[in-house]
Amino acid sequence: MITDQDLHFHNGNSPDFDHAETLFLIFSVPEARISGNAYVLCRPNAGVCLSSVYVHQGMHANAWTVDYSDAPMHVKCPETMADFTLSNGLSVKGSNDARDYRFRYEGRDGLCRFDLDFKGLMAPFDPLDPAQNPMLEVFQGDPEASTGAGDSWTKGHYDLVGRIEGELELYGHRFAVSCVDGLDRSWGPRAEWNSAPVSWMHITFGDDLAFHLVVTLDVVNGQPVYTTFRFGYALVNGEVSAIVAAEIDAESVGMLGMHRVVRLTDAAGRSWEMTGGAIAAAPWHTAYTSFISFQSLYRWTMGERTGFSNVTDVIGVTTLSQRLSRLARR
């Protein structure tokens, strides 16, 4: 069970220089086709931290054309991730058994600010807990196989969806933020080299209906292809049920997702099918040099239901080189 203790560092007496603790929030203003994120990776044993604030409106083929990016490397590592403020102006405070958070940002350049309350709609989902994730048994209890994300999530990880309310101000323009999307936190040794291709996917239709999937990826003929479903959950009227099967059909422009059809089944035998069309997309790799996160904000439809939330396809740059290099294909 995830508790407020998991807001603190998990390095203990570990001497590992590459021990990392992460926190990631993604939010949106769908009516303005705006997608944003706030990301923190701390290395307490090294005393350093990297942070990224990234906001874009509409479609961007290149990271340097997005509306706002602030990704200093490095800033001083905080004492805890439960309540901290970084020198780039990002502050985070968590509470309520890691369900609720307040994210505040005041850019040093005065160009961007936000104040966002994340209220968890569920208890955090722990994919390493067999009571929550039956896919661990399918992958014979191997955390690395079950997550499909290399070393990134194998020592500790949780994910949840929540209601995000607040305000974003960008270049003097103010936007009310009211959306349902995802937050995750992880810890453990992370080499941050050639991140294993994986998709972090949220599909939300409101406070009463939301889904989360983690699916591995490959790049075939220059296009992302979803390969193996790893784990996920359905949140239905406040109750969480594990996803046990999922299939995704993908259409992309370059590596950016444009259209998705998702079919999934939960442990209770319920099945859903939804369709997503991107209204904003951009590659995010200002926080790292080792991988690129191809982020798309989708408008999801399922019957009479409509919702907006984000999909993040994460692919290591070494893998991209191997798949796309002309020399590698000779």
End-to-end CA distance of the chain: 50
Query: What's the CA gap between 200 and 115, in Å, rounded?
Result: 24
If you average pLDDT over residues 225-233, what whole number do you get?
Answer: 94
- Between 71 and 150, the more confident residue is 71
Query: What's the CA gap between 291 and 197, in Å, rounded?
Result: 9
Q: List pLDDT tens digits, range 249-299.
A: 999 999 999 999 999 999 999 999 999 999 999 999 977 788 899 999 999
Q: Do the beta carbons of residue 115 and residue 106 sit within 8 Å?
A: no
Q: List pLDDT tens digits, range 86-142.
A: 999 999 999 999 999 999 999 999 999 999 999 999 999 999 999 999 998 888 756
Q: Do the beta carbons of residue 37 and residue 295 sit within 8 Å?
A: yes
In the predicted structure, residue 145 carries a pLDDT above the cut 60: no
Q: Do the beta carbons of residue 39 and residue 22 sit within 8 Å?
A: yes
- Between 330 and 75, the more confident residue is 75
- Helix then strand count (H, E) for the chain reads 3, 19
If you average pLDDT over residues 2-30, what whole number do you get?
Answer: 93
Distance of CA 22 to the CA centre of its chain: 11
Please give the pLDDT value at position 124: 98
In the predicted structure, residue 211 carries a pLDDT above the cut 70: yes
Mean pLDDT over the full length of the chain? 93
256-266 vs 209-220, strand pairing mode: unpaired
Which of helix, strand or coil describes residue 58? coil
Q: Do the beta carbons of residue 80 and residue 86 sit within 8 Å?
A: no
Sorting pLDDT into bands at 50, 70 and 90, what band is 329? Answer: confident
Q: Where are the alpha helices (DSSP H) in 29-147?
A: 135-138, 143-147
If you average pLDDT over residues 200-210, what whole number do you get?
Answer: 98
